[in-house]
Amino acid sequence: MPEGKRRYKATIDGESYTIVGPKSQEHMKTVAETVDEQLSQLKELTKGLSSEKRAILLAINAVSDQLSTRKELEEIKDKMKQESQMDTQA
């Protein structure tokens, strides 16, 4: 395994997974717990859907959240840049 990669064994929706990545064990644990929790919530809300369709909905929700967060971050960066430029002009 490449240097810096870690393995984390997780149980998500009753299935065992090995997550491999550079993040800390605590980070991977939090990710796995969050996915498991969100899948459980989706299972309650979408009783007729297959596990695959629930996983796709979860991915859509995650990407939507990521894009919203990215947009907010860009707006904050732009605001800070504008304020910094105003400070240097004063």
- The reply to whether 33 falls in a domain is yes
In a domain, 17, yes or no: yes
What's the structural domain count of the chain? Answer: 1
| pTM attached to this predicted model | 0.78
CB atoms under 10 Å from CB of 28, counted, come to 19
Does residue 56 belong to any structural domain of this protein? yes
Question: pLDDT tens, 13-56?
Answer: 999 999 999 999 999 999 999 999 999 999 999 999 999 999 99
**Residue 20 domain-assigned (yes or no):** yes
- Does any domain span residue 1? no
Q: Which domain holds residue 32?
A: 6-89
Of 67, 42, 65, which Cα lies nearest the Cα of 53?
42
Residue 64 belongs to a domain: yes
